[in-house]
Structure formats: C-alpha cells, structure tokens
Amino acid sequence: MRNVGSFIDLFCGIGGIRIGMESQGFNCVMSCDINTECQKTYCKNFNEMPLGDITKIDTKIIPDHDILCAGFPCQPFSISGKQKGFEDTRGTLFFDICRIIKEKRPSVVFLENVKHLVHHNKGNTLSTILDKLQELGYKVSWKVLNGADFGVPQNRERIIIIAALSKKFDFKKVKTVSRKNLIDFLDSEGNFEYLSPHEYTLIENPKKQPLSGLIFAGYRNKSIRKAGVRPNTLHLSRVHKQPNRIYSVQGIHPTLPSQEVSGRYFILTEEGLVRKLTLNECWRIMGFPDSYVKVSSVAEQYKQLGNSVCVPMISAVAREIKNQFFMGNINE
C-alpha cells in the first residue's frame, strides 16, 4: 500500500495505534513513550526506539507530519483567573500535545482516551480539550466507539477525538462490522488453566446482555460483597469483583483493565468447563496479530494490553481519516 501521509505516535505504548495507521498506508516518522518496557516492545516490533518523556522533547526535533496521534493519559485541568488559551493546560500532558500542534500544525489530530474522559471532572476535562483544539484553529468532533463493533469480542469503549484544519470529521462514515463472539478467538489447544468444579458456581440459563453482548455465566467461589444486597440476588454479577466473574464464550468479553496483572479472566467453554483466557487470547481480542513479538514479563504484558487500543477500531478510523482528508471518499 502506497504512503498516503505521515504521522507521529505520541504516548505510543506498544504500538496499537501505529499498527492501525500503517494498515491504511500512513507512515510513522516519530514516536515517544516514557515507559521503558513499552519502549522495548515497540522497538522489537517496529525497529525504532521511541523517544522518552514528552515534556522534555523540543518541538524543533519533531519531523513535519500530517497527523498527530496520541493516546494520552486522562488528567484534570486547574483553570482559574484569566484565560490563556492552551497555556491554561500547562502542567498536564495535554499541554505538550498542544505545544506540538501549535509548532507543527498537522492537518489532523487523532486523540484516543478512556470513555471516562466524557464525564471526568464533571465533563470539564473534555470541554477544555475541545475548546483548546478549537482555539488552535481546528474543527473538532468526537465520539465514543466500542471495539466490539470493529471485529474483536471485547466490550471496550473509548472516546475518539478528531480535529482537522479543513473540516469536521464525519464519524457516521466510520464502518462497523457485525459483532463476533469470544469462541472464534480461542486457542484450539494449549496448556490451559482450568478451575475445579468446587471452585466456581454457574448460574442457570445465563442471558446475553443486549447492549454489551456479555453473557455472565457464573462466578468463582471467592468472598463476595453481601452488605446491602437484597435476598436471593447474590448470584448477580454486580456483587462479584471482576476477577471472580465467569463469562460464556458465546458472548463477548469485558474490557481488559490495566490494573489486572495476573490475567484473572475466566470463561465458560462450549464443553462446560471453566478456564482462564490464555495470554495469547488476550492479545488476540485486542486485535494484535499473532506475529506480534512480546518481550516483557507476563504481568507487564497484561498491563500493556490493558493500556492499549483495539487495533481494528483504530484501523477503521484511520481508513476514514484517509478517505475524508487525504484521498477523498474512496472505499477499500
């Protein structure tokens, strides 16, 4: 695929955004991330060592680029007194995004964050981000997208913000696909870690949740919250912490969180057995190819996955960025 434009990969993590962007013909010209473990993994897969702390990067060394991509951390803004444009965000990592935008003037800015950003600090954080991008001369649009709508069996909602100099990005043109179930992404063989029947309880006639696509099938027989719970409702998933829950492979999986470093994701198989998802299966339901090289410890890999993006979702957005801003309305 020919190169249709260049991008920089800020807060690049393990390269999920890069894979999605490159799948649509975009060329990465610079990357950065402060996490040394992520840097090692990124370098192994892309033959490029990301720069480190973004707050210490001089904009003069950043190459010109068409698209600025950033999956940045969610931070509150402390704004008071006289408004100073994007200077109001000083002290946050979003400030560094803004200073790079001001200096380099990319045609498009592609930001990704957790869904919680929508409500963070009573909505003020998102409002500030949108305002500052507009003050920098960009036309801004945003939408919460779910990885489950882009071919991976994971209920993973993320906010995507697209800012462009020429026109607003039209999210309605981003193509989704029919949802897939977890069963299609499992290893056919391997050293599976099964639970013994006495270690869990299955519920009768589990039903798929219509919005999320999850099928809560049971729970591990661990301590559960009982205070304030109505009689005969202890089986409900809300009283069980995430690592205790068991989900059917006939539905999709909940979000893989960055806090879970032990991989306590349990599934009910077609055979009626309960086992942990393998680490490879976790990579797969994030949309990473099986050929992706892993170099970190198991715990670090779970953390990296929890902080990463659903690759097919990024690819779908990148396709529309290409169509709407770089090649016209061309469908592939």
pLDDT band at 141 (very low <50, low <70, confident <90, very high): very high
Model confidence at 86: pLDDT above 70: no
Which range is most confident: 225-234, 235-244, 257-266?
Answer: 257-266
Nearest to 313 by CA among 147, 92, 185: 147
Catalytic positions, written as ranges = 74
Mean pLDDT of 179-184: 96
pLDDT for the residue 244: 87
Mean pLDDT of 68-76: 82
pLDDT for the residue 85: 46
CA dist list (Å): 325 to 20, 144, 330: 17, 21, 11
Mean pLDDT of 235-261: 84
pLDDT band at 185 (very low <50, low <70, confident <90, very high): very high
Determine the Cα–Cα distance for residues 82 and 93; give it in Å rounded to an integer.
Answer: 21
Mean pLDDT of 195-210: 92
Model confidence at 87: pLDDT above 70: no
Nearest to 153 by CA among 324, 317, 320, 312: 312
pLDDT for the residue 169: 98
pLDDT for the residue 259: 87
Model confidence at 79: pLDDT above 60: no
* Mean pLDDT for all residues in the chain: 90
Determine the Cα–Cα distance for residues 43 and 52; give it in Å rounded to an integer.
Answer: 13
Determine the Cα–Cα distance for residues 44 and 33; give it in Å rounded to an integer.
Answer: 14
Task: Catalogue all structural domains in the chain, each as residue range(s) with its CATH number.
Answer: 5-176+309-326 (3.40.50.150), 191-277 (3.90.120)
Mean pLDDT of 285-291: 97
Determine the Cα–Cα distance for residues 67 and 267; give it in Å rounded to an integer.
Answer: 39
pLDDT band at 323 (very low <50, low <70, confident <90, very high): very high
pLDDT for the residue 195: 96
Model confidence at 159: pLDDT above 50: yes
Model confidence at 295: pLDDT above 90: yes
Mean pLDDT of 43-72: 97
- β-sheet with 26-32: strand ranges across: 26-32, 5-10, 67-70, 108-114, 157-164, 139-146
3-state secondary structure the chain: CCCCEEEEEECCCCCHHHHHHHCCCEEEEEEECCCHHHHHHHHHHHCCCCECCHHHCCHHHCCCCCEEEECCCCCCCCCCCCCCHHHHHCCCHHHHHHHHHHHHCCCEEEEEEEHHHHCHHHHHHHHHHHHHHHHCCCEEEEEEEEHHHHCCCEECEEEEEEEECCCCCCHHHCCCCCCCCHHHHCCCCCCCCECCHHHEEECCCCCECCCCCEEEEEEECCCCCCCCCCCCCCCCHHHCCHHHEEEECCCEEECCCCCCCCCCCEEECCCCCEEECCHHHHHHCCCCCCCCCCCCCHHHHHHHHHHCCCHHHHHHHHHHHHHHHHCCCCCC
Model confidence at 84: pLDDT above 90: no
The alpha carbons of the chain give a radius of gyration, in whole angstroms, of: 21
pLDDT for the residue 76: 58
Model confidence at 8: pLDDT above 50: yes
Least confident of 122-126, 164-168, 304-308: 122-126
Model confidence at 15: pLDDT above 90: yes
